[in-house]
Amino acid sequence: MRRASISVPSNIAEGFRRRHNKEYKQFLSISLGSCAELETQVVIARELMYIDKNTEEVLVDKLDHICAMIVNLTKHLNA
């Protein structure tokens, strides 16, 4: 979970430093994949009773918000 959570902003930052929007969008896509990976791990953590239902809901809500921001940024780059 730590690796996936660090991967999200790291890929956004790396893509931002690229010279072309096409490359930046690719890194944003990788960040979305890391968000999906992290969300899956949160669900598994709940199923294995490492976290409670409330914690799962809070984390999934935050991840949904982050994913929406990444998608909106990607759309902005397409404009």
Q: What is the pLDDT of residues 25-63, one digit of tens each?
A: 999 999 999 999 999 999 999 999 999 999 999 999 999
CA dist., res. 28 & res. 15, Å (int):
7
**How many domains is the chain built from?**
1
Task: Take residue 47 and report the two structure tokens written for it.
Answer: 């199923």
pTM: 0.89
Residues spanned by the domain of 70: 2-78
Judge contact between 12 and 24, C-beta under 8 A. no
The CATH number of the domain holding residue 64 is: 1.20.1440.60
CA dist., res. 1 & res. 69, Å (int):
20
Q: pLDDT band for position 23 (50/70/90)?
A: very high
pLDDT at 49: 97
pLDDT at 42: 98
CA dist., res. 17 & res. 67, Å (int):
20
